[in-house]
Structure formats: C-alpha cells, structure tokens
Structure 1
Amino acid sequence: MLICKYTDPPLTQKEQEELQQKKNNKEPYSEPISDFDITNFVTKFTWSGDSEQAARKLEFEIIHNTINKDSTFTALDLKIGGFIYLFYSKDETSKPVEIFEGRIFYRKRNSNTFTFSFTCYDDMVYLAKSKVQMLFDGITVTDAIKQICNEIGISIAQDIPQINTVVSFIADGKSCTEVFRTLFDYTKADTTNNPNGEDYTAICLNGDVTIIKKGELIENYIATDLTDIDSSEHSESIESMVNRIKSVDDNGNICQVFTNEDDVTHFGMIQDIYKMQPPKENETVDNIKMAKSKLKRLQDESSIKAVGNIQCITGYTIEVQEEQLKGKFFIKSDTHNFANNIHTMDLTLEYLPETPEVANIKQQDIATPVFKSSKRKKNTNSGNGSLKVSQGLSTGFDAWGGTTMNNGRNGCAEAVGKIGSYYSPFLAQQCTNGVVGVPSMVANADSAGLLEDFSVSELQKGDVIVYGNDDHVVIYDGNGGYYGNSSSKNVVLHGKNYNSLGTPTKIIKASKG
C-alpha cells in the first residue's frame, strides 16, 4: 500500500507579512498545509527513473471538482513547488518506507474528467538544471561531488562511498550532472582492476544524494517467469558503437590512434575524436585511459514487465531467471505503476557478464602532443616587468601555464623568461632578447649583479632557482613549489616541491630586479 503526503512550499517574505496582517486584523486566514495525507484523493501513481535522466519522477492524478459543480466536495490546492512524500508498506501492520521525496514541477487540470494531474521530481533535478563554474585541482571524485552539492545547496548522504580517483579539470558552464558524468568517466578510466572499469551513478535517496556502483545487486530478489515476470524482450545494437579513437592535441595534430580491430572487421569502422588534456603534476588519469574509455562495443538491451518491487530502481542490478534472460542485469530505467491496489513495473535492463570480455585495442603513437592552456589569454605577449611579484607571477602563469614552449622539452629558460617578464625587468629583457639557454641567462644575471650561490635563507618568491651546472631553471613560488617547464610532460606547470627537480646551486634574484 502507498501513503502520499503533501506540504506547501515555504512562504515568501511578502506572503508571511500578508498572513501576519490577517491575523492582526482578525481576518479569515489559512495556515500553510503541512504533512497532509492526500492518499485517498489519488487515483493512480507512476514512479520512474532513467539512467539518461538525473532525477526520479513521480506522476500522480487526483480527483478534482469545483465548488459550483459539487458543493459537497473539497478540492485540494496542491501548489507548484509544494513537497510530495511517497511511502510504501507491504500491509497495514508494516512500517512505511519512504520511496520518493520531491517537489511539484508541473500540474494540469482537466475539467471534463474532473481530474488534476501532477509531475514531481526529486532533488537531483536541481543538479540537472543548475550549471557551475568550478576548478577541481587534484581532489578526489568524492570530494568533487561534495563540492558540487554544497554549491547548489543539495544535501548529501553521510555514507557516500569514497572514490579516490584524483581529478584536475575546469567545469566551465556545465550542468552539475554533466560534471558528475565527467567525474565518473575519469573513475572508469582510472580503475584498472575491472577490465570495463568501475562505473558509478548518482541517485537521490530519502532526500540525500548518494553514489551507487554499477553492479550493486539487490539482495534476496530474483525475477523469474514462474512468479514475477509477465513478458520480456531482448535486442542488440551497434548504433552507439565507436571502434576507433583519434587523440588530437591543441593544434589539431593526430598524436595517437586506438583501434578495436576485431570490431572494425565485424561491423565496419566508426570513429570518434578525443581532445587530449594537458598533463598536470600528480594527475592520475592519463590521456591514454581517457581515450580508450570512449571506445564503445555492441550494446544489448532487455526489458521485462513484472510484478512490482520497490527495490528495483535505476542504478541497481537484479538477477533474472527467465526463458530468454538469465544472469545479472543492470537496471537502465524503471517505471512503477500503482493503480487499483496493483503494483506493476517495466524495467529496461543491460546484461552484466560474470567475466567481461577484454577487448584487444591496438595503439599507434604518431606524434608528441603540443598543448596550449585553456586559460590562455588572447594576448600572450611578454610583460614589461612592472607588476609586483605576486601579481606578476599570477598573470604570467595564467598566460603560459599548461602550454608547450617553442623549445619544447628544452624550454625551461624560455618559460622562466615569459612568466617572469610580468614582474622582473631582468626577465622581461631576457624574454625580449630571446634568451632561451640556461647558461646565457645565468651569465647575464651575473653581469647584472643578480646572481648568488643557493641558500634557502636567501630564496624569495619570484627568484629563479638554478640547478646543477646551469642545467635547469624554475621560478620559486614562495611556498616550497615552483613555476616552470616540465621536460617529461612538455608543458609549463606549477609544481609543489622545487627540491624534487635536483640539486639547486644558484639563485637569480629576479624578485629584486
């Protein structure tokens, strides 16, 4: 049996003042409705979810009449924005369990049939409709999800699973659920224990956002054609297949190609493009994994019509024993219908093999990628050394961070000159004069009276650290880290530990000149 309750939306400031005014004037007034049982007014419920749609949906219909047609009938006024709570219990003696908590987003009255229909969504709808501008810099997927929910003011379950994949990227005007999907793609690419990767989805339970892992089995339930299933269907498709990925850098150069040759042979070539991301220090997800994760194989889809079970909702997995279908199946979408005290459900399913087939992917390495910063300004000319050190470093890295230098892996002096040109007259001159060799920069600093032997006590923010026998240079960030060119990653980055680069031998006092 179902129990459905309604609560009015919170009063606005103006509505509160009007209500108080009526009370003061002893005029007739109505208090906001709270926790009002509307079960007996409802003729039918449809409760559904879909892996392609973020929020679960509840549609219901109530009998409705107007006072001039039937003076004995009290019409309900369920407002847009009002809260709906749906509870389920096996019988009158069982404790009701909440299966839906959400708000009314749509209502429609039909005077011919004397009905009022409503559509409600749970709080995931706010994540689907809200866009964010956020920087995730070396944090776990779980922490990123918490940041997103806090940004929109959506509560999150205390027992949310810990996903330790570390991510670094900018969510630029994306919806929260689009960002969730990106986070889960990073996780799937990063998890190598399972050949198909670990896949997750976000759902709302009892008003809180939580994360469930694809394949989480509903225990103590088996759908069979002897007891539950009325009918079933099964289909296979290659409409979503992608069997070759070309990875391109910021200049559009093809750097790597990944091909599932068996699928190309069987089904023909279907190609997609992956835009490579500039590497960052300590980033765990790499471009190879991300490119491979875009490959898609033959998709199968099954569906069953069965006796309803409220545990069977999108995101979970059930066991099926039926003439056509046997094994474990992921629920891609569900629709539960409640009418005339009968509960039925329609489930769309995806088969999960016990031992997933591991595709043989051919990798071709064609060229070294070149990156340009996604933050890069239109004007990336060098500075004139006029800014203060902190502002100049920030401006310089904003212009050149994440880029590949003209001198590629040997561009450390070039990077120091370009970044430092915004606050240091000396480095601005080196940049303007095209100095790209460490020995030349060190010799020029010596002539300018800016060269010292290395000493931690003398190191200041904005100074240039020289390593070895004039082998490498970076700019000190004032907090144990550095700005400079990475030879291994072929981009300019902000590192966390300048001691990790070798033995410092000299300091160019760029902070002073």
Structure 2
Amino acid sequence: MELFITSPEAGSGDVMQLVPTVTWSGDCKQCARTLEFGILSSPTDKNVPVISCPLGSAVLFSDAGSELFEGYIFTRQKSTGDSVIDITAYDRGIYVKQNEAVYKFTNTTPEAITARICADFGIEVGDIAETGVKISRNFIGVGLYKIIQTAYTLAAETTGEAYQIRFAGKKLSVIKKGVSSDTVIIQGGSNLMSASTTESVESLVNQV
C-alpha cells in the first residue's frame, strides 16, 4: 500500500514506511469518507525523516496503484513526548456536507438536481444514477449533501431502490447501494500488514 502526502513546501512523497497505523472508514449514510493515520516523528532521532504535513495538504491512499482514498488533512495532533503525529483527512464529501444553498425545484429528477448542484459549485460529475422520477421541493439553507439525499430518498419511494452518494477522486457519484466493482478485500498475505483480535467474558452473566 502507498500513502502520498502533497504539501506546498515539500511536494509529494510516499510516507507509508513511517506510518504505523491507518484507519480508512466510511458510512453509506455519510458522504465524506475518513482516513486516520499516524506518522512517526522524532526531533531527537536523526534517522527519522521530517515529514511536511500541514493542514490542507493533499492525501492519496492506494493499493498497488489503485486509488482507495483521496482527500485533505483537516486535523493534526501531537502530544509532548509522543513519537507519532495523529492525522485525520477527509475526502471532498466533507465540502458537500458543509456547504449550504437555497434551491426551488419543480418537476425535476434527482439526477438533474445533482447535475445542477455540481454545475453551480464547480464539482466534477461521475456516475449519476437515473431514476426518471420527478419531484418538487424547496430547500432553504440546506446542505448540498442533504439536498441530493432528500431528492433520491423521495424517488426511492417509486423506484424501490436505495442510493448512495460518494466521491471517487474528484468526481461526485450517486450509485445504487450494493457492492461495487472497486470494493477492496483486505486479506492476510496480501495487503493486510497486521491485525489483532480481542476476546472477553466480562459481560458474561452466569447463574449461581
């Protein structure tokens, strides 16, 4: 696996060899996906290179050249005496979630609503699921993600399908829920570097 950080000061570089942990997460109910990772950092050990990773730096996480996550650094944390900088990055879905707008749609399909929002906010369009269902709804000060989600939820009452909004690189897509062709399977001996399991009987209640 590769993890590239691109900053204005240092350009782009693969820092995976200095990353002890990576957590890549997302939710079908959320537009933004998250990448949390740590970078080794030591002001006293000259064998540990200094990595430039200011807020806003671009992050690319991939597996054998296949992109898994592309986003930007939003938070950094390092405690005194700690040898790891904890970083949280979000993909472009965070901007769709945080930006609000005012729209009035009349007899407009969700796919047309999505295309309009993308055009207005300069968002590249990926695969947009077609419903053919026309809806009418006013949105006042509503987040872009919520607008698109509401439109497809209303259409789902007719189509019977469930839809998911997500970013693939720079492009916003709306797909039918299910396993897509780019689903990555993590497995030992391939792309899984380490794993741990925990077992406990602390919750066990037995009859005395």
TM class by smaller structure: 0.7 to 0.9
Q: Render the CA deviation track for 1:393-420: whole Å, top value 9, x for unaligned.
A: xxxxxxxxxxxxxxxxxxxxxxxxxxxx
Q: Which residue of 1 aligns with 2:34?
A: 57
Q: Higher RCO, 1 or 2 (CA under 8 Å, sep at least 6)? A: 2
1:46 partnered with 2:23: yes
Q: Equivalents in 2 of 1:200, 1:212: separation in Å?
A: 6
Provide TM-score, normalisation by structure 1.
0.35
Instruction: State whether residues 31 and 167 of structure 2, in contact with CA within 8 Å, keep that contact through their aligned partners in structure 1.
Output: no
Q: Secondary structure at the match of 2:11?
A: coil
Q: Equivalents in 1 of 2:32, 2:195: separation in Å?
A: 21
Per-residue deviation, 1:78: 0.1
Instruction: State whether residues 123 and 154 of structure 1, in contact with CA within 8 Å, keep that contact through their aligned partners in structure 2.
Output: no
Q: Which residue of 2 aligns with 1:341?
A: 193
The runs of at least 4 consecutive aligned structure 1 residues that moved more than 4 Å come to none
Q: Which residue of 2 aligns with 1:310?
A: 184
Q: Which amino acid aligns with 2:52?
A: D
Instruction: State whether residues 8 and 82 of structure 1, in contact with CA within 8 Å, keep that contact through their aligned partners in structure 2.
Output: yes
For structure 1, the 5+ residue unaligned runs are 10-31, 90-95, 192-196, 220-308, 313-338, 345-513
Kindly tell me the number of residue pairs found equivalent between the two proteins.
191
1:175 partnered with 2:143: yes
Q: Equivalents in 1 of 2:151, 2:90: separation in Å?
A: 23
Instruction: State whether residues 187 and 199 of structure 1, in contact with CA within 8 Å, keep that contact through their aligned partners in structure 2.
Output: no
For structure 2, the 5+ residue unaligned runs are 197-208
Q: Which residue of 1 aligns with 2:169?
A: 206
User: 1:244-263 maps to which residues of 2 (within 5 A)?
Assistant: none
Q: Which residue of 2 aligns with 1:139?
A: 108
Q: Which residue of 2 aligns with 1:3?
A: 2
Q: Which residue of 1 aligns with 2:201?
A: none
Q: Which residue of 2 aligns with 1:329?
A: none
Q: Equivalents in 2 of 1:179, 1:128: separation in Å?
A: 10
Q: Which residue of 2 aligns with 1:128?
A: 97
Question: What is the aligned-residue identity percentage?
Answer: 25
User: Could you say what the CA RMSD is over the residues aligned between the two structures, in angstroms?
Assistant: 2.3
Per-residue deviation, 1:218: 4.8
Q: Which amino acid aligns with 2:174?
A: I
Q: Which amino acid aligns with 2:133?
A: T
Per-residue deviation, 1:72: 4.5
Q: Which residue of 2 aligns with 1:115?
A: 84
Q: Equivalents in 1 of 2:10, 2:131: separation in Å?
A: 41
Instruction: State whether residues 39 and 84 of structure 2, in contact with CA within 8 Å, keep that contact through their aligned partners in structure 1.
Output: yes
Q: Secondary structure at the match of 1:113?
A: coil
Instruction: State whether residues 55 and 123 of structure 1, in contact with CA within 8 Å, keep that contact through their aligned partners in structure 2.
Output: yes
User: 1:277-288 maps to which residues of 2 (within 5 A)?
Assistant: none
Q: Render the CA deviation track for 1:462-512: whole Å, top value 9, x for unaligned.
A: xxxxxxxxxxxxxxxxxxxxxxxxxxxxxxxxxxxxxxxxxxxxxxxxxxx
- Structure 1 residues 135 and 116, CA, compared in 2 at 3 Å: closer, same or farther? same
- Structure 1 residues 56 and 311, CA, compared in 2 at 3 Å: closer, same or farther? farther
Q: Equivalents in 1 of 2:195, 2:19: separation in Å?
A: 15
Q: Equivalents in 2 of 1:107, 1:119: separation in Å?
A: 7
Q: Secondary structure at the match of 2:94?
A: helix
Provide TM-score, normalisation by structure 2.
0.83
